Structure 1
Amino acid sequence: KEEEEKPPIDPMALVGKSLFKVSQLRRKEETEQKQTESMSVSDNDVTFDDSPKSTARISDEQLDDVFTNVRIEDIGVKYSDNKKDADVPQAKGSSFEDIDAAVNTVKAPKATDKEKRHAGKVFHEMDGNQFYEKFMENSEECKKNIHDYVTFYLQTHKIVEISKPKKEFKVSDSIEDFNILDFV
């Protein structure tokens, strides 16, 4: 059998001609851009920072020191050039790795004396913070182990507490003498 040849379908016959007019949707007032008057800008109003930028150059001898591993507590924090404000107290405590090792020691069924001493030291330093309180609520076995390890640590080390003198808060009479570092 021979297939009958069909004439190609005209696309305009399949889809009708659009009767939509764009001009019906927009009014002439809407398409015109409104001109608003703005203030004139003079050359004196515009300023740019043209100061020369200096880059630090590290000598070849000091280059190795730049990439050495330095812990954050080894670096002194200085907020001002004033001698009495030179050393600002820093946050102290155990690293996340030390805390993780202490938690694993508390949960482990058997631990060496060195691990127990380390866990006792970490939890003794953490005593009173929220993480310590949450961990103590975890289970009675963990609570007992922590108490035992802290006691073991305290028996093997003499803990000397140094009381710091309380800082006096002195409010200055004028705003020019105000320094936020006096209250931090």
Structure 2
Amino acid sequence: MVGLLRNPKTMKKVQNEVRRIVGNKKGIIGDDLDKMLYLNAMVKETLHFHPPIPLLVPRESIQDAKIQGNGIATRIQVFINVWAIGRDPGLSDNLEKFQSEKFLTSLDFRGHDFQLILFVKLVLANLMYNFDWTLPGGTRGGNVDMTESTGVFNHRKFPLNQGSKILVVENGT
């Protein structure tokens, strides 16, 4: 949600898509989520920018290997740094800019569809469908501190409600 609040054009695109697909139905169903290509791209971009777990669960190498000239012996515990991979300039241009569009045509999860992401998409689609979100008093998204904490799980270092409040207006649907 903070990423969307910081990028009102992206939020408007997501809201327009969700509201167009859902129309006058009473609620959002699973088939609707499959049609929400921009919402899916935005979720992928959010996970790219802010992976919930910066280091994946440790893995054990099953054979000797070399990665970028570094030797990895058999049965060595390996940690995958998802945060660093998401910021690799070799993977994408302009990594510091939130651009959901790049996930409309490339950079897929390569077949990994996590069940939790389906739940997140459903909740997010409902929030986009039922409410209009803005920062109060003309606050601009770029003024929201996005510093992340360090630890096992990534989260914002400073709560969103610290010094600012979110204005939520029902859209009347």
Q: Shorter-chain TM-score: what band?
A: under 0.3
From the CA coordinates, give the structure whose radius of gyration is larger: 1
**Structure 1 length normalisation: TM-score?**
0.19
Greater strand share, structure number:
2
- Considering Cα pairs closer than 8 Å and 6+ residues apart, tell me whether 1 or 2 has the greater RCO: 2
